[in-house]
Chain A
Amino acid sequence: MNRFLLVSLLAALSISPARGGEVDISGSVEMQARAFWHDPQWVGQDDQALQGTVISTTEIRWYNEGGNQRAAFIPYLRWDATDEERNLTDLKEAYWAIEGDDYELLVGANTVFWGVTESVHLVDIINQTDFAGDIDGEDKLGQPMVSLMLQRDWGEITAFVMPHFRERTFTGVDGRFRAPLPVDTDNPVFQSSGEEDHVDFALRYSHYIGDIDIGLNLFSGTSREPRFIPAADGQSLLPAYDQIDQFGVDVQYTKDAWLWKLEAIVRDGVTHSFAAAVGGFEYTFYQVSESSADVGLLLEYQYDGRNEFEPVTIADNDVFVGTRLAFNDVQDTAVLAGLSYDTDTSETFVNIEAERRFGDDWFVELQVRAFSGAGQSDATIWLQKDDYAQLSLARYF
């Protein structure tokens, strides 16, 4: 068989048009190994330096014949060998959606991302953070919702009604990344008498004008960020979820190799109203030294005006510097390295992520995260011994 025939045959086999009355099933199995090089700091934490996790994600997607309806069902299972609080069964997505020329109605669990910045995601509020999964806040839990999107010449408006609240995940007694007392996720405290069934609302406007992309967001409901209250027996911390109202704006100005970014919020919180903002730029040198690689430089400044009675944040008065290396090779090799530095307290957080594909189906990621310099009032004061490196190997199918 000549090569062209072979290629054509492979092409015919692998093009499976998952459109029009079809079900598309895919997924991945990921193995993570975490290595900690400091002994644990708190009583009860497992002192194994190497800790393992297995994650399975299955994506089942359906599209109707006419192409105006679709459904997704994405179960996510995580099993951790060390900390049972890191075990998770979630539906990242489980929805049905119907769309017309200028609207979409979606019912079910979904994940929605808002925002433009890299170092902190201030305006992104629809989905709860799976903190036990990843401390970077980018792992999310599926949010049950009814959402209606309207597309107009002057932009896109989406309304969200969220009838059920998802609690944040936290590592357990055995796990790292916790305060001296573990978080008791079985006994959350809600400000609303409706507790997790309080109905939350959100509204998003999104558009672009020339080189400027803009988003405006309103949220009214249960804060995704909890405060912590010591339990009566003094053995744990109870997460406390308050009612908040929040207005957010995200703007990006894209000009040549520059991306200028700003996110800002005003929140009517537990005890006061405050503002927070993150802004900066990303500049990319394309094809450095006549190679295919791009090198991006990132600089962002984070401000947060919240007082000590509000949920604690790491991003309160920090400068973030980072670099993004994209090799633009067949394997999509990329490295993102960043450092956040608190100009008030010298609290420092280093984050390095490197990834590439092997063959067609394997994907490898290396993460290194390190904490230092935190003062008594800093969010990472309890994590100073939790520096780690993580190697993850994923097989896609």
Chain B
Amino acid sequence: MNFKREIPALLAAVFLMSIAYAAQANQDQGFEIAARSDRTDLGFGDSEVELQMVLRNAAGQESMRALRIATLEKPDESVGDKSLVVFDTPRDIEGTALLSHAKILDPDDQWLYLPALKRVKRISSSNKSGPFVGSEFAFEDFTAIELNKFDYTYVGEVPCGDLICDVLERTPRYENSGYTRQVSWVDQTHFQIRKVEFYDRRGDLLKVLELTDYRNYDGIWRAHKLSMSNVQTNKQTDLIYGDYTFNAGLAANDFVKGRLSRLR
């Protein structure tokens, strides 16, 4: 055996293995932090909340939408939550509703209710990256953020406000995402997501989401203000939440497609 030739190769192999090991360790750590954050939510059962969507264009002009969201938890992490979004304003779309049965990697099942025709329409959910009702939130930002929809890498820790945040990079595992990657800040005290950066298909920073006004409902945290700023267009959408109601007694039959035409 020619040690002169083999030793550098061996060293190189060890070096590469340690990088791989470190990368794996970073992925494990990233997933653990994301999972810990996700699991602070476990057992919320169901929730109902009313919110205002404030859309602001680059010139600062605002328009508003009022909506209600009902969510039914599916505790199993391999199954997505069910959600129902109903619009109260603008008045011309009052009663418009979107029902989603989230999946982890498969496309979600989605139905749209159009009150003018009283028509329930199954819609394609492959439009992940499209804007949700003209806002800076894409469909994929708005439907349930499920733990296993992403791969994670731990990046490091930085101060965030009064807290210290772990910084994670997450890459979508599902198809048709508009993002190559997202960078999320998760605080080390309450394990809540404080900020997310979204990078577009070219790898450029597209949007920044800030989650503030966290409130605790018997151990369940909810942000009450979500501000999504598009750094490329200077448009912004704020979601301003009212108080959450948990365990409102919602059941699977409240999230069936036929229910859409019986909401009002």
**A331 and B134: CB pair below 8 A?**
yes
Please tell me if the beta carbons of A292 and B131 are within 8 angstroms of each other in the complex.
Answer: yes
Which residue on B lies nearest to A286, using beta carbons? Answer: B127
The chain B residue with its CB closest to the CB of A330 is B134
Complex-state Cα separation, A363 to B117, whole angstroms: 16
**Cβ-defined contact, A254 with B122, below 8 A:** yes
Given A10-B64, A254-B124, also A396-B91 (CB < 8 A)? yes
B19 at the interface (CB under 8 A from A): no
Instruction: Establish whether residues B258 and A151, one from each chain, have CB atoms under 8 Å apart when the complex forms.
Output: yes
Chain A min CB distance to B201 (Å): 9
- Which one of B149-157, B181-189, B249-257 is at the interface? B249-257
Q: Are the C-beta atoms of A330 and B64 separated by less than 8 Å?
A: no
What's the least CB distance linking A203 to chain B, in Å? 14
Cross-chain contact A292 with B109 (CB below 8 angstroms): no
B240 contacts A by Cβ under 8 Å: yes
Taking a contact as CB atoms under 8 Å apart, the answer to whether B109 and A111 are in contact is no
Q: Is B264 an interface residue (CB 8 A)?
A: yes
| Contacting pair A15 B52 (CB below 8 A) | yes
Chain B residues 47 to 73 lying within 8 A of chain A, measured CB to CB, are 50, 52, 54-55, 57, 63-64, 66
Please report the C-alpha to C-alpha distance between residue A62 and residue B223 in the assembled complex, in whole angstroms: 31
By beta carbon, the residue of chain A nearest B120 is A113
List the B side residues contacting A258 at CB < 8 Å. 124
Closest approach, in angstroms, between the C-beta of A186 and any C-beta of chain B? 29
Q: Which residue of the partner chain, among A11, A99, A252, A360, contacts B240 with CB atoms under 8 Å?
A: A11
Chain A residues in 8 Å Cβ range of B129: 286-287
Is A360 within 8 A of B264, CB to CB?
A: no
Question: What DSSP secondary structure best describes chain B's contact surface?
Answer: mixed
Q: B130, A254: Cβ atoms under 8 Å?
A: no
Q: Does B89 contact A (CB under 8 A)?
A: yes
Q: Which residue of A lies closest to B93 (CB)?
A: A332
Is B94 in the interface zone, CB < 8 Å from A? Answer: yes
Using Cβ atoms and an 8 Å threshold, which residues of chain A touch B258?
Answer: 149, 151, 156, 206
The reply to whether the CB of B173 lies closer than 8 angstroms to some CB of chain A is no
With A7-B240, A254-B123, A284-B127 given, is the CB distance from A18 to B88 under 8 Å?
A: yes
Q: Which residues of A are in contact with B by a Cβ distance under 8 Å?
A: 7-8, 10-11, 14-18, 26, 28, 61, 70, 72, 97, 99, 101-102, 104, 111-113, 115-116, 138, 149, 151, 156, 206, 208, 213, 252, 254, 256-259, 284, 286-287, 292, 294, 328-332, 357, 359-361, 363, 394, 396-397
B residues at A contact (CB < 8 Å): 50, 52, 54-55, 57, 63-64, 66, 88-94, 107, 109, 117-124, 126-127, 129-131, 133-134, 178, 238, 240, 242, 251, 253, 256-258, 261-262, 264
